[in-house]
C-alpha cells in the first residue's frame, strides 16, 4: 500500500526550491524522498533528518559531515551530494537520485551470487572506497544497504554518514558506531577506525555475496561481536563446496582479525581482487551456487547502531578462544592473548599441508631415538630462553586515564622508569590524566626502560568569530581558519542583511567553545516577499505579476480540472499570502477546465426531490418562483435540460409552479 500520501512532506516545496514528490525509504535517522530541484529542473534524492533528531547537535553534525565529506569525492562510484540546508525543523541533504535497488535487495531475492557477479559488484565498491581512502576518509559503515545498483547496472556507494578523516582521533568513549555484522575487531575493541575497517567490511560483503549468508550470526548482538573478535571468517568453500581457492584467499586476506595482515586500504584490496580474478577460469567465475543458500534474510543486525562499549568488551565470563564458558574464569587463570598469534597466518590457513620432500621423509624414518633427542634439545633450549627472559622483560602496566602521579607510581611498581612527559589537547580524556604511552600499554619492555607519557590538557577551546554580514562561503572559511566546523545552515528573512550573508551564529560571537565544534549559521534570505494570489489569472499575467514581486515562475507539466476556465491558473504552490525570499520559485498548475457531468431530469418532481437529485449530482440549486407560485411545490422547468451536461459545481435554476 502506498503510504506516501500520509507523509506531510510529500507535495511540499522545501527551502523554496525542492519539491517533494514521493517517499523512497525510511531509516532510523532520516527519510529519503524523490524530489525535483525546481531551479535546475532535475530529479534528485532528498535525505531529510527526522525532526525529532534535528534538535540533537551530534546527529546534525554527523549529517553535515556526510555532506561535506562526500561533496569532496568526485568519483563515478560515489553517490554525489549536491546541497545541504534546513527549512524550519527539516534538515536535509540533496543527493544524486539512483533508480534501481540495493545490494541487500539483490541478496534477499537471489541469495548467493555467481563469483563473476560478486566480483563485478565488489570492484566498483572498492574503487569508490579507494578514492575515499586516498582522499583521507574512512566510510566505517559498509554493508549491502549502502551499495546501490542502478537500473543501468552502475554500482555506487552511498551513506557516508559515519565518515571520518583518517588522520583524526577515531576512538569513541563508551560507544561504537556501526553495523554489528560488519564491524572489524579493532572497531569493537577500541572504536579505532582506519581504511582497514572498510577492507574488513568488504571481506564480509564478499563472503555474503558468495554464500548468501553472513559468516557470523547469533541470537544477540553481543554474540556476533564476540565472534568477530575471536572467530576467523570461514572460507566460502566451506558453505559452497568446490568454490575456487582464490576466492577463499581473498576473503581470508580482507577479514584477517589482525589489522596489519589485511590490505592497507581499498586500493590495495582492489589490486588483489583483480589479480585473483585473473587466475580464475570462466567455469569458476560462472559457477552457480546451490539454491539451498538462498535463505530468508533477517535484517535485525543490518542497522547502523550506537553500540555500548560494555557490549563489545571481553568480560571474565567470556573465554578468549572458545566462546562463552560455562563458568567465570577463576582468579589467576590465564585468559590468553585473544587469538592474535594465529591470526597472523590468516592468508594461508586454507592451504593443505605441503608434502614433505624425500630427504625429510627419510630423516623421519631413522628411528624413535633421533626424534626423542631432538625433542629433548628443543625443550632444554626453550626452558633456558624462558629462564633468561623472565627476569629481563615485563609489560607496560595499564596507565590510560590515570593521573600523572598514579602513572608514575604504577611504573615504579613495575620496575620501569618515567621517560619524556608531554601534554596534548584531548576532547575525550580528562585534563591531567594519561592519553597514551610509548611503548603502548601491554607492550613487552625490558626492566628499568623508560615509558613516555602524554598527559591531557583537556579540550582545546577557541572563541566564535564575529561573522555577521559575511557571505556564507567566507563565513565558513573563517570558521575553519579558527579550527571550528561550519554547522547547520538555517535561512531566515532579514531586511538589514544582504541575501546570502550571515545574520547570526549559534553559539553567538565571542562564545568560547571546543576546537572542532560545529557552529550553526543563520543566513539571510533577503527581505520577505508576500506571494500574490494569481489563481484564475491568465498564465502570462500571473508570470508578470510574480516576477514583478521578485519571484521566479515554473509551470507544472500536469493540468487539473477546476472551476477555472481551461488554460487559466488552477492553483499555485506556495499559496497566496506565504512569504518567500526574492528569487524563490512559485509553481503554477494550469486548469483543464471544469469537469462536465450529466444533469438529472427533475421536471415534475417536488422541490425537495429535485434539490436532492441535483445537489447529489454535484450542482448548486436556485429556485425561480413567480408571485402566484409562492406556495407551489412542483418543478415545471430547469435551466439546463435533463440529459445535457454542465460544469460540476455550477448552478441549475428550477422553475416552480
Structural domain harbouring 186: 101-314
- Kindly state whether residues 115 and 222 are assigned to the same domain: yes
Give pLDDT, residue 425.
Answer: 84
Give pLDDT, residue 392.
Answer: 62
Give pLDDT, residue 443.
Answer: 85
Where in 517-619 does DSSP place strands (E)? 518-524, 528-530, 552-561, 569-573, 579-581, 585-593, 596-598
**Of the candidates 574, 563, 567, 572, the residue with the CA atom closest to the CA atom of residue 590:** 567
HSE of 610, CA atoms in CB hemisphere, 13 A: 25
Give the pLDDT band (50/70/90) at residue 512.
confident
Give pLDDT, residue 601.
Answer: 95
Q: What is the pLDDT of residues 235-244, one digit of tens each?
A: 998 888 889 9
- Kindly state whether residues 71 and 21 are assigned to the same domain: yes
HSE of 159, CA atoms in CB hemisphere, 13 A: 22
Q: What is the pLDDT of residues 241-268, one digit of tens each?
A: 889 989 999 999 999 988 888 999 999 9
Residue 637: give its domain's CATH number: 3.30.10.20
Give the pLDDT band (50/70/90) at residue 107.
very high
Question: Does residue 195 sit in helix, strand or coil?
Answer: helix
- Kindly state whether residues 557 and 624 are assigned to the same domain: no
- Kindly state whether residues 428 and 538 are assigned to the same domain: no
State the cell numbers at 227. 565472534
Q: Write down the residue that cell numbers 555484522 correspond to.
A: 181
Q: What is the pLDDT of residues 360-370, one digit of tens each?
A: 333 333 444 44
Peptide bond into 439 cis (omega under 30): yes
Higher-confidence residue: 180 or 203?
203
Active-site residue identified among 15, 141, 198, 265: 141
Distance CA 580, CA 526 (A): 9
- Does the pLDDT at position 378 exceed 70? no
Distance CA 306, CA 172 (A): 11
- Does the pLDDT at position 145 exceed 80? yes
Give pLDDT, residue 136.
Answer: 82
- Kindly state whether residues 168 and 259 are assigned to the same domain: yes
- Does the pLDDT at position 448 exceed 90? no
- 25-34, 201-210, 276-285, 544-553: the lowest-pLDDT one: 25-34
State the cell numbers at 66. 556526510
479, 506, 524: which is the final residue of a domain?
524
- Does the pLDDT at position 4 exceed 60? no
State the cell numbers at 568. 487559466
Percent of the chain with pLDDT over 70: 79
Residue 559 CB-density burial (10 A; 0-12 exposed, 13-18 middle, 19+ buried): middle
Give the pLDDT band (50/70/90) at residue 178.
low
- 72-76, 477-481, 603-607: the lowest-pLDDT one: 72-76
What's the whole-number mean pLDDT along residues 31-60? 85
- Kindly state whether residues 109 and 250 are assigned to the same domain: yes
Give pLDDT, residue 314.
Answer: 40
141 is catalytic: yes
- Kindly state whether residues 306 and 225 are assigned to the same domain: yes
- Does the pLDDT at position 280 exceed 70? yes
Higher-confidence residue: 5 or 613?
613
Give pLDDT, residue 657.
Answer: 78
Chain mean pLDDT for the chain = 80
Give the pLDDT band (50/70/90) at residue 28.
low
Q: What is the pLDDT of residues 303-361, one digit of tens each?
A: 554 454 444 444 333 333 334 333 332 223 333 333 333 333 333 323 333 333 333 33
Q: What is the pLDDT of residues 576-633, one digit of tens each?
A: 988 888 888 999 999 998 888 999 999 999 999 999 999 999 999 999 887 666 778 8
User: What does DSSP assign to residue 109?
Assistant: H
Within a 10 A sphere around the Cβ of 583, how many other Cβ atoms? 16
**Of the candidates 107, 121, 117, 114, the residue with the CA atom closest to the CA atom of residue 77:** 121
**Of the candidates 569, 575, 564, 560, the residue with the CA atom closest to the CA atom of residue 588:** 569
**Of the candidates 514, 596, 531, 534, the residue with the CA atom closest to the CA atom of residue 563:** 596
- Kindly state whether residues 172 and 268 are assigned to the same domain: yes
Q: Total domain count for the chain?
A: 6
- Kindly state whether residues 563 and 615 are assigned to the same domain: no
Give a yes or no: residue 383 inside a domain: no
**Of the candidates 12, 44, 47, the residue with the CA atom closest to the CA atom of residue 28:** 47
Q: What is the pLDDT of residues 216-231, one digit of tens each?
A: 988 888 888 888 888 8
- Kindly state whether residues 574 and 442 are assigned to the same domain: no
Amino acid at each position: 500500500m502506498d503510504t506516501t500520501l500520509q507523509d506531510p512532506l510529500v507535495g511540499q516545496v522545501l527551502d523554496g526550491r525542492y519539491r517533494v514528490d514521493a517517499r523512497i525509504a525510511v531509516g532510523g535517522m532520516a527519510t529519503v524522498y524523490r524530489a525535483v530541484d525546481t531551479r535546475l529542473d532535475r530529479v534528485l534524492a532528498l535525505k531529510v533528518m527526522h525532526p525529532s533528531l534535528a534538535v540533537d547537535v551530534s546527529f546534525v553534525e554527523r549529517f553535515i559531515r556526510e555532506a561535506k565529506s562526500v561533496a569532496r569525492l568526485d568519483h563515478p562510484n560515489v553517490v554525489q551530494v549536491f546541497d545541504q540546508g534546513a527549512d524550519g525543523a527539516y534538515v536535509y541533504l540533496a543527493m544524486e537520485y539512483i533508480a534501481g535497488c540495493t545490494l541487500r535487495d539483490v541478496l534477499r531475492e537471489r541469495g548467493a551470487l555467481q563469483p563473476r557477479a560478486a566480483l563485478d559488484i565488489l570492484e566498483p565498491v572498492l574503487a569508490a572506497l579507494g578514492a575515499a581512502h586516498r582522499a583521507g576518509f574512512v566510510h566505517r559503515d559498509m554493508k549491502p544497504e549502502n551499495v546501490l545498483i542502478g537500473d543501468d547496472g552502475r554500482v555506487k556507494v552511498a551513506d557516508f554518514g559515519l565518515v571520518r578523516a583518517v588522520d583524526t582521533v577515531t576512538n569513541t568513549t563508551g560507544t561504537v558506531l556501526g553495523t554489528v555484522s560488519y564491524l572489524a575487531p579493532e572497531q569493537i575493541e577500541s572504536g579505532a577506525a582506519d581504511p582497514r575497517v572498510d577492507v574488513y567490511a568488504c571481506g564480509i560483503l564478499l563472503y555474503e555475496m558468495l554464500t548468501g549468508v553472513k559468516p557470523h550470526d547469533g541470537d544477540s548482538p553481543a554474540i556476533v561481536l564476540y565472534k568477530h573478535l575471536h572467530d576467523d571468517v570461514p572460507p566460502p568453500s566451506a558453505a559452497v563446496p568446490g568454490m575456487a581457492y582464490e576466492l577463499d584467499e581473498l576473503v581470508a586476506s580482507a577479514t584477517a582479525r589482525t589489522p596489519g595482515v589485511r590490505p592497507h586500504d581499498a586500493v590495495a584490496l582492489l589490486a588483489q581482487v583483480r589479480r585473483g580474478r585473473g587466475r580464475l577460469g570462466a567455469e569458476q567465475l560462472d559457477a552457480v551456487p546451490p539454491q539451498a543458500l538462498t535463505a530468508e534474510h533477517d535484517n535485525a543486525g543490518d542497522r547502523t547502531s550506537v553500540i555500548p562499549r560494555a557490549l563489545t568488551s571481553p568480560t571474565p565470563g567470556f573465554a578468549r578462544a572458545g566462546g562463552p564458558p560455562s563458568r567465570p574464569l577463576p582468579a589467576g587463570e590465564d585468559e590468553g592473548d585473544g587469538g592474535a598469534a594465529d591470526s597472523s597466518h590468516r592468508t594461508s590457513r586454507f592451504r593443505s599441508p605441503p608434502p614433505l620432500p624425500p630427504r625429510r621423509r627419510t630423516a623421519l624414518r631413522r628411528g624413535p631415538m633421533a626424534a626423542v633427542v631432538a625433542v629433548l634439545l628443543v625443550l632444554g633450549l626453550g626452558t633456558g630462553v624462558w629462564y633468561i627472559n623472565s627476569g629481563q622483560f615485563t609489560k607496560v602496566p595499564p596507565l590510560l586515564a590515570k593521573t600523572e602521579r598514579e602513572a608514575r607510581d604504577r611504573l615504579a611498581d613495575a620496575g620501569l622508569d618515567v621517560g619524556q612527559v608531554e601534554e596534548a589537547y584531548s576532547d575525550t580524556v580528562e585534563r591531567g590524566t594519561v592519553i597514551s604511552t610509548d611503548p603502548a600499554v601491554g607492550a613487552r619492555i625490558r626492566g628499568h626502560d623508560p615509558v613516555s607519557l602524554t598527559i591531557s590538557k583537556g579540550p582545546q577551546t577557541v572563541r566564535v568569530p564575529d561573522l555577521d554580514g559575511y557571505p556564507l562561503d567566507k563565513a565558513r572559511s573563517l570558521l575553519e581558519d579558527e579550527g571550528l566546523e561550519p554547522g547547520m545552515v538555517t535561512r531566515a528573512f532579514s531586511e538589514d542583511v544582504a541575501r546570502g550573508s550571515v545574520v547570526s551564529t549559534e553559539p553567538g560571537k565571542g562564545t568560547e567553545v571546543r576546537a572542532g565544534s560545529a557552529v550553526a549559521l543563520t543566513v539571510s534570505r533577503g527581505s520577505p516577499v508576500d506571494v500574490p494570489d494569481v489563481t484564475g489569472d491568465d498564465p502570462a499575467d500571473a508570470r508578470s505579476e510574480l516576477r514583478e514581486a521578485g519571484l521566479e515562475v515554473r509551470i507544472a507539466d500536469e493540468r487539473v480540472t477546476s472551476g477555472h476556465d481551461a488554460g487559466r491558473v488552477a492553483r499555485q504552490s506556495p499559496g497566496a499570502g506565504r512569504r518567500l525570499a526574492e528569487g524563490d520559485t512559485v509553481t503554477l498548475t494550469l486548469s483543464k477546465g471544469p469537469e462536465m457531468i450529466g444533469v438529472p431530469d427533475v421536471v415534475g418532481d417536488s422541490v425537495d426531490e429535485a434539490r436532492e437529485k441535483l445537489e447529489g449530482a454535484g450542482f448548486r440549486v436556485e429556485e425561480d418562483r413567480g408571485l402566484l407560485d409562492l406556495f407551489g411545490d412542483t418543478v415545471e422547468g430547469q435551466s439546463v435540460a435533463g440529459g445535457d451536461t454542465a460544469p460540476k459545481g455550477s448552478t441549475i435554476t428550477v422553475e416552480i409552479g
